[in-house]
Amino acid sequence: MTPETGTVLSVEESAVSIVEQAQSVRVTNQETLEQANDILGAIKKMHKEVVAEFDPKVKAAHAAHKAAVAHMKKYTTPLEAAEKAIKCDMQRYVTEQEEKESKERERAQREAEEKERKRIADLEAKEQKARESGDEAKAEKLAAKKEDVSYAPKTVAPKVNKVDGLSFKEVWTADVTDMRALIKAVADGIAPIAILEVNKSNLSRHAKLVQNTQDIPGVKIYCKKEIAKRTSK
């Protein structure tokens, strides 16, 4: 065992011993309050010793980790940038093609509807003419034909064919454009309260600022005491 190893073991054993002492104490009177105070002082002192013992090792390990990460990022960062750029370009192309395809489908649908309209108008004109000439049988046949008029839109071929290993998924997200309107929507029951997240740090800072001079609906501002123990050097 090296002197360094012995020191580490001594610190570890002392730390465990003090923790056990702290766990065995329950403050019920003045005597145990003072006993707990002594243990509290020992805990804070021991904490400093533990940090002094292990901090250099932690810093050395952190520095080594930081250097290794930096070396890795030398290559991963440009790879990630290249991946993002090529994905954006692919997405741009696919979006453009989908928009073209959608417009072609809409145009094909309009053309089919226009064709139906013209055919029905033609049959109506012939039906009217047949009725005017007294040929009711022919008029009824023409009227029946109108019900069967239907033209399917021209088939539009996909602009983008399936690429092996490539897929797209829909990712829905949202941005707040009017916080007051959002809060009102939650208050009115239109939006779920879960989408509002309380910033505890900001709330506590505001509580420290106003203390007991301001009441906020839905918020309880209070003061709690915490033990502050000085340690001897």
Summarised one tens digit per residue, pLDDT across range 129-138 is: 998 898 888 8
Is the same domain home to 120 and 208? no
Residue 156 has pLDDT above 70, yes or no: yes
Is the same domain home to 133 and 199? no
- The two structure tokens encoding residue 89: 């370009």
Give me the percent of the chain exceeding a pLDDT of 90.
61
Q: For residues 211 and 224, is the Cβ–Cβ distance under 8 A? A: no
Q: Which residues contact 158 (CB under 8 A, 6 or more apart)?
A: 101
Report if residue 166 sits inside a domain. Answer: no
Residue 19 has pLDDT above 60, yes or no: yes
pTM score over 0.75: no
CA 101 from centroid of its chain's CA atoms: 31
Domain extent at residue 53: 3-161
Report if residue 201 sits inside a domain. Answer: yes
Report if residue 203 sits inside a domain. Answer: yes
Of 188, 172, 170, which Cα lies nearest the Cα of 180?
188
Q: What confidence tier does 5 reach under pLDDT thresholds 50, 70, 90?
A: low
Is the same domain home to 186 and 81? no
Is the same domain home to 78 and 24? yes
Rounded average pLDDT over 201-230: 87
Each residue's pLDDT tens digit, 81-140: 999 999 999 989 988 998 999 999 999 999 999 999 999 999 899 989 998 898 888 888
Report if residue 227 sits inside a domain. Answer: no
Is the same domain home to 129 and 216? no
Number of domains composing the chain: 2
Is the same domain home to 216 and 130? no
CA atoms within 13 A on the CB side of 4: 5
Q: For residues 155 and 104, is the Cβ–Cβ distance under 8 A? A: no
Is the same domain home to 122 and 208? no
Which of 116, 137, 161 delimits the end of a domain? 161
Q: Which residues contact 50 (CB under 8 A, 6 or more apart)?
A: 11, 15
Is the same domain home to 109 and 209? no
Distance CA 17, CA 49 (A): 14
Is the same domain home to 151 and 194? no
Give me the percent of the chain exceeding a pLDDT of 70.
95
